[in-house]
Chain A
Amino acid sequence: MIYIAILTVAMLIAGVGAYFFRDLIAAVVACAAVSLIASVLFYLLQAPDVAMAEAAIGAGLTTAIFVIAIRKTGRYEK
């Protein structure tokens, strides 16, 4: 259960990072870190199905789509 506490704190730190980063690529990577840690949390909370879906979609495809969209628009938040 101590793992859950550590992972939760790491997830919140990554979420705050996603708020503060001016570089949108960095914010998206922090968002992917949140998804990855959430996937580990799902596994620890006895939900392996959800953990697989979150790892494949949240950390993989969502990040890729964000990066493509940022490449088509602007990289820095002014």
Chain B
Amino acid sequence: MTIGNPMMYVGAVGLIMIGLFTVLSKRNLIKIIVGLTLLDTGVNVLLIAIGYIHNRTAPIVTRTYTDPTKMVDPIPQALVLTAIVIGLGVTALALALAIRVYGHYKTLDTRKIRGLKW
């Protein structure tokens, strides 16, 4: 109960940072999309961790368990549920773009693709 307290936030923020750093520093388009996926997962973990409360159960009522003061927050879970599905759609769209870029330039290196430099 004590060690888990900052650990969850450290994990989520660390995952967000790894994803952002991959997006900022890598030059391969597929690697950049991998970074976006990591970023997505990190944000989802952070949201669920914010909604969690100790000693409470999942927000599902059963026949024997009906106490609503002993359940965690359902709103971040509903939010993240839809965010995961959208994440897959966005990743697939980005990969389709990367495949088209490869078909046109024969490379995925952003340094060699005109118009993608920074």
Contacts and interface: CB of A to CB of B under 8 A. Distances in A.
Interface in B87-108: 87-88, 91-92, 95, 98-99, 102, 107-108
Contacts of B38: 15, 18, 31, 34
B95 A74 contact: no
Contacts of B41: 34-35, 38, 54, 58
A4 B7 contact: yes
Contacts of B88: 57-58, 61-62, 65
- Chain B contact-residue range equals 35 or more
A15 to B, nearest CB: 4
Chain B contact residues: helix, strand, loop or mixed: helix
A38 B44 contact: yes
Interface of B: 1-4, 7-8, 10-11, 14-15, 18-19, 21-22, 26, 28, 30-31, 33-35, 37-38, 41, 44-45, 48-49, 51-52, 56-60, 72, 77, 80-81, 84-85, 87-88, 91-92, 95, 98-99, 102, 107-109
Interface of A: 1-2, 4-5, 8-9, 11-12, 15-16, 18-19, 24, 27-28, 31, 34-35, 38, 41-42, 45-50, 53-54, 57-58, 61-62, 65-66, 69-70, 72-74, 77-78
